[in-house]
Amino acid sequence: MPLSDKNCVPCHGGVPALTPGQVQAIKTEVPFWSVVENHHLERTFRFPDFVTALAFVNRIGELAEQQGHHPDILLAWGKVAVTIWTHAVNGLTESDFVLASKIDRLHEAPVPAVA
């Protein structure tokens, strides 16, 4: 099953973060994301203006609430930088990759018209 079809699983600690080998194996499904120190995922998305970037941030926020998994998001004119990791294990879990994949799918989807 593709990562984007899965759901994030709440983590309350007590499970190990993914090993470097596990991270490399699953990272192939989110090729545009960078793995930083086997600890977190990062990706910057570019947009033609602030309004479009802000709309994307809002869509990520809705997704994060639905999934119960909340990334760090930086909004600037024409760009959105997203950082994801599982705080409860201070590292990466499958849910981080699931959320990254879902964010990629959001980015590929048509943007709803702004009224």
What is the tens place of the pLDDT at every residue in 13-34?
678 899 999 999 999 999 999 9
Residue 25 lies in a domain: no
Residue 54 lies in a domain: yes
Average pLDDT (46-74) is 96
The answer on pLDDT for 39 being more than 60 is: yes
Task: Residue 78: give the domain boundaries.
Answer: 40-109
Confidence (pTM): 0.89
The structural domain count of the chain equals: 1
CATH number, residue 57: 3.30.1360.20
103 in a domain, yes or no?
yes
Give a yes or no: residue 19 inside a domain. Answer: no
Return all residues near 27 (Cβ < 8 A) that are at least 6 apart: 33, 35, 97
103-110, long-range: CB < 8 A, 24+ apart? 103/43, 103/60, 103/63, 103/71, 104/4, 104/30, 104/32, 104/33, 105/4, 106/56, 106/59, 106/60, 106/63, 107/45, 107/56
pLDDT at 112: 61
pLDDT band at 65 (very low <50, low <70, confident <90, very high): very high
Does 98 fall in a domain? yes
Query: Given this model, what pLDDT does residue 114 score?
Result: 54
The verdict on residue 34 lying in a domain is no
